Each structure stands twice: as C-alpha cells, then as structure tokens.
Structure 1
C-alpha cells in the first residue's frame, strides 16, 4: 500500500535537458515504450523488451580526484563480517577501507533511496513507492555538468523496467527495492533517463564498446549481493567482477570503484555499521592498503561525487556529509569530526537503524509531507542546483533547521529539530 502523501508541488515538473557535451550511443534503433509499473507476465516482458529504448551516453569531464566512479551495493552484512571474508580482504588490500561508515535506515530500501536523493524521507519498508517528480536526484546534478551516467541491474528483464520484481530465469532474481533510481518519477517518467536503467549484461556490452559512463551504479541480483546467500558468495562475486576491471586500461583510467553494504541487517539492535572499500587507479599509491577513519554514511558518496566534479548540491543531507578523505585532499573540503554539542548526544548513542518521521514513514506521527530542501546551504562554494532553488522557492525557509551543513545525521532517537512541522 502506498503511503498517503500530502504532496508539495504535486503538478510541477523539472525540465531535464541533456547538455550538448554528452554524446549518446543508442543500443537500440527502436522507439521508446512507455513503462508504467509493468507486470511481469512472460508475454508482457517479451513485448516490452522488443521495443525498450536503451542509451549508453559517454562524456569526458575531468574531476579533481577521479574521472570515473563505479558504485557497487551489497546486502545486509555487518562491518566485522565483511572485513573478515578472504575475497573482500583481498580487495581491501588494493585500496582504502572506510572504517567508520554507517547505513542510514532499515530495511534495505532506505539505504538505496538515500544516496540518490539526499534523504530517505522516513522510508521504513521495502514496499513499492513512487518518489514525487519534484524530488531531484544525483541525475540532475550530473546532467547539469554534462557527466554521463548509467545504472546497471542484474536480472532486470529489459531497459527501463519499472516492475516490483522479476524472477529472471537466466540471471536470477531482480527486485526494484535495490534499484537505485527506479523509484524516482523524475527519472522513470523521462524516456531518455529510463533508457539508462539497464540490465547488467549491458555493462559488458558497454565495456567492450568503450562507452562506460563516468558515473555508474551496479546492483547484483539477490543471490550475488548476499541477500539470499551470504558474505562468502557476495565477496566472491564482487572480487570476480572487480579485479578484471582493475586490469582493464580503458575502464581503470583515473577510476575509483566504491563497494559498500547497504546495512548491518544481521542484528537489528546493533548500530548500522557497514564497511566501505575504495579502489582503482584514482587511489594514490601511497594510500593503497590504508584506512579512512572519518565518519561516513550513504550520503558521503553523494557529497564526494559533488566535490570531485564541483557539482551543485541537492540541498539535503548530502551537503553536510563528509567527503572521502582522498577526494578532500584534492578539493580542499574539510573533514569534520562528530560534535556532541551540535548532535545533542554522544556518537555512540546514534544507531541509524530506524527511520524518523517522513513522507514514507508508517508511523502515525510521521511527517507526511516532503520537506523542502534548504536552498541557502553552501558547502565549500557548492550551491544548491538552481533548478531546485526555483522549483521549491515558495516552500523554502519553512523548516530552516531541518537540513543543515553538518555531519551529525539524525536517527529515529534523534530526529531533525523540526521534524514534527509540515513544510507547506
């Protein structure tokens, strides 16, 4: 059941023009098929797949610390278990281990909506949800600077599929809750954007044809990501996927690969401590085999991408999140430590394993509106995307203390200051 939403700007839309600096290599000459919460009947899948539009854009925008990033999300594994696996240890030795990284909610889906949009909006389930078209994502920021992007999902039956799940007889089970961008109307309602939500096999096709985007996201199926198996399976899959890429001179050209686990789902009362691994040719040689012990969460990859390419921001929790240290060394961003006075409590008393009130919260007293981004925020010269400022202008300033330029991320025990007040 979809949550009741007292929509903000429900009828408005964001223009998403593709900058001229992106060149598009279409994987299909056929016309686009409208995909609206598709069924998974075999005949429907076959019909839609025959006409699904696929795009593989490329670009070459130089970054401060890397020119390409590929992100890989795995499932529900505690930090100590991920770092104990021999295959993941082999990857850690080739890069940087993030030792103080935390998820932002539970179960899985909040940790996938967060790095795309800068908030989890109170989500505390894996239900089918649709995020209002007025909520911007990393896609808006990348396209604003002409940076190509692609989202690859193992088991996805065809490009732009918007169904809840699919039992792929060849590639294994696919679920929408693990697809980073499929829940956002600002992405899926745009045919050219939906054309970049692709099957994982197309990653290898793009690799062979040298059309891997500068920003990429990979989601293994339920077996390979460890959801239906274990850390042994997921680390083995990840190592077998990553190491050939590290040896590929086209792919690994000033590239960073980021591997993380969406949550510590093995102990619901434990703090949501997960591991993060950074590796690739963009990692300075002197940092290989070292650690980054700053506080990071699933907004840190968003803030690090913003810093690397000097992007605008989304005006949400992405603004305050610590940038990865190796990126900050190139951009001049300040790495901040937890401030108990700002947080109102000790770092050890934050858990991030439940969601506070929000538009998708099932809590009776949850905040059932979209909170406007804080368009006044500026982080190291990076301002909020102008189209976001314009779109949300009439609602900005209603909750000035909700989104702040701080690393002290709220949790269910420490909700945002104004989380009981609507923004419109």
Structure 2
C-alpha cells in the first residue's frame, strides 16, 4: 500500500525546486548579458585599433607624432635678404639658432592675398589680387582639421570683434585672414588677438596669428614687428619647446625682388636645430600639416614634396 511522504519532506522538495528554478533564471539572464558584452567590447576594440592605425600613418608620413598645438605667424612683404642678419630684428634672428631655418623658402604669388590662400587651402582659388568680399566653398586646412576632430583658430590683430567679416578696420585687413572667406569654416574660428589664450593648453590644434599692418612689416618697421612678435609670441614659443608644440614663422611674399625668397623658421620641442636647404614653398608647409594630422591633400599640396629632416631623431 502506497504511503504518503511526510509533510516535512514535501516542503523540502518544494523549496529545492523553487531554488533551482530561480537559479536557472538568474544564470540565463547572466548568459544573455554576457553574450551582449563581447559584441560591445569588440566594436570598442575596433575603434581603438582604427585610431591606432591612423596614428601610425601620421608617424610614417612625417616621422613625428602630431604636435598638440601649432601656431603660425605670417609677416609681410620682406625678402630673406632683408630680414636674416638684420640688426633691427634681433628676436627673429635669434630664432634661427633655436629651430629649423629654411634657407630656400619661397612664396608662390604676388600680391599678398593669393599667398595666404595657398598656405590655407593649397590654391589661390583663382584670386590674383587683394580684393575683398570673396565667398569660397573649397576644402581648406580649417575645414579638414574640424572633420578629423581637431580644432582651428585664426587670431587677427585689430579685427573689431570675433566673427567679423569687415574688409578693413584700423590696421586689420581681411586679405590676410583667408579663413574668413570660406563658408565651411565656423564663424567662431575667426577671432580677435585679444582672444589668444594665456593658457596655451586652451589653444586650438592649429592657429594662425596675423599681426596688423603696422606689426607685420607691411606698413610698420622691421623693428616694430620684431618687438611685437617677441612681446606677444615669445611666451608661447618657450612653452612649445616643452609641451609637444610647434611655432612657425613665415612671410607671405618678398618685396617684389624677383625671386620671392622669404624666411621660414620652425621651432618646437621635437624640431631639429639646423639650417635646411630643401626648397620649400607655402605648399610644402601646408603638406607638412596635412601629413602630421592625417588630412587629405588640399589643392596643389598633393604634388608638393614632404618636408624632410625637420624632426629630431
């Protein structure tokens, strides 16, 4: 005759069954979550690998990691012969022995504005004068830096306000600030010199600094320009030497001497101190920046040679 199990035994069996069911449900949920996580982690690893591969390309093209910051100052209308060795420019001549001095550097055009456009976009954009009011849409250094998740800023002395598109104001000339002409450059990138930060960590990745006509040698003296440069940029330059950053000093064009031979000097933490005889133009300088930040080649920079022997081994 079948005998009923004791009540205590039934209760124990029921308790074990519930615990097993709960444990199974918990394990299933954990398994489901774990099965989702590898997929998520895999895409993160792919993103990191992609970023690493991009960095490797940069290293291969210029032989140096991209600087955290680059500041480019453009002076006006003086040949190499008029600047290098001139006692009226002691600060500028002192820079020759602090970094790379390009003894064979040349502008590409006359007058001023086409040279700025070449340095900024790889082309004079068909503009062969200093006329104002151009509206351009071509890719340029600023637009490509921003696409690549870097930043850009242009600082112009005597610009009346951030974002202004005026042609002239006091000794400011829009012809020397090419980014103002491009519709694909944010208005916020066009800034006054007063906006140049004292904390250089806050600088954009690449910046242009444009002195006014008195301080860029166009209207003023060589000495006035040399003094202004020392006062306003020497602190950044010294900082750049220990903060993986770069300072570039160049001229838009010569004084119509025939050769368009201009000074170009680069100083930074990883810059080789030397006189370099490679022939370069504004296009080579632009190409160097494109290679450092793995940007597409703009305009005629695609056929320019890479700058060689710039970086310390």
Residues 322, 82 of structure 1: alpha-carbon distance in 2 compared, 3 angstrom cutoff: farther
Q: Which residue pairs with 1:195 in the alignment?
A: 188
The equivalent of 1:219 in structure 2 is 210
Q: What is the CA distance between 1:175 and its match in structure 2?
A: 0.8
SS state at 2:247 partner: strand
Deviation (angstroms), 1:274: 0.4
Are 2:136 and 1:123 equivalent residues in the alignment? Answer: no
- Bigger helix fraction: 2
Q: Is 2:272 the partner of 1:281?
A: no
Deviation at 1:84, TM superposition (A): 1.8
Kept in 2, the 8 Å contact 1:78–1:274? The answer is yes
Q: Secondary structure at the match of 1:299?
A: helix
What is the SS of the residue equivalent to 2:208?
Answer: strand
Give the match for residue 178 of structure 1: 176
Q: 1:128 to 1:115 in 2, by over 3 A?
A: same
Distance 1:129 1:300, change over 3 A: farther
Question: Alpha-carbon deviation of 1:291?
Answer: 1.1
Query: What does residue 321 of structure 1 align with?
Result: 304
How far off is 1:293 after superposition? Answer: 1.1
Distance 2:193 2:124 in 1: 25
Tell me what 2:103 maps to.
Answer: 99
Q: Structure 1 93/241 Cα, relative in aligned 2: closer, same or farther at 3 Å? A: farther
Deviations 1:82-131 (A, max 9, x none): 11232211111111111111111111101111111111133221111414
Shift of 1:213: 1.0
1:291 and 2:275 equivalent? Answer: yes
Aligned length: 249
Q: What are the ranges of 5 or more consecutive residues in structure 2 without an aligned counterpart?
A: 1-57
Distance 2:269 2:312 in 1: 16
Rate the CA distance shift 1:326–1:158 in 2: closer, same or farther, 3 A.
farther
Q: Taking structure 1 as the reference length, what is the TM-score of the superposition?
A: 0.55
Return the index of the structure with the highest Cα Rg: 2
The equivalent residue for 1:263 is: 253
Contact 2:154 2:189 in 1 (8 A): yes
1:178-219 Cα offsets, whole Å, 9 max, x none, are: 1131122222xxxxx11111001110xx23374111111100
TM-score, normalised by the number of residues in structure 2: 0.74
- RMSD, aligned α-carbons: 2.2
- Match for residue 306 of structure 1? 290
**Shift, 1:328, TM fit:** 7.5
| Alpha carbons of structure 1 residues 328 and 208: separation in structure 2 relative to 1, 3 Å | closer
| Structure 1: tracts of 5 or more residues without a match | 1-60, 168-172, 188-192, 331-424
How far has the Cα of 1:177 moved from its partner? 0.6
Q: Would you say the 8 A contact 1:130–1:185 is kept in 2?
A: no
Q: Tell me, yes or no, if structure 1 residue 148 matches structure 2 residue 151.
A: yes
Aligned to 1:160: 163
Q: Are residues 1:245 and 2:242 paired?
A: no
The 3 A distance-change label for structure 1 pair 151 and 326 is: farther
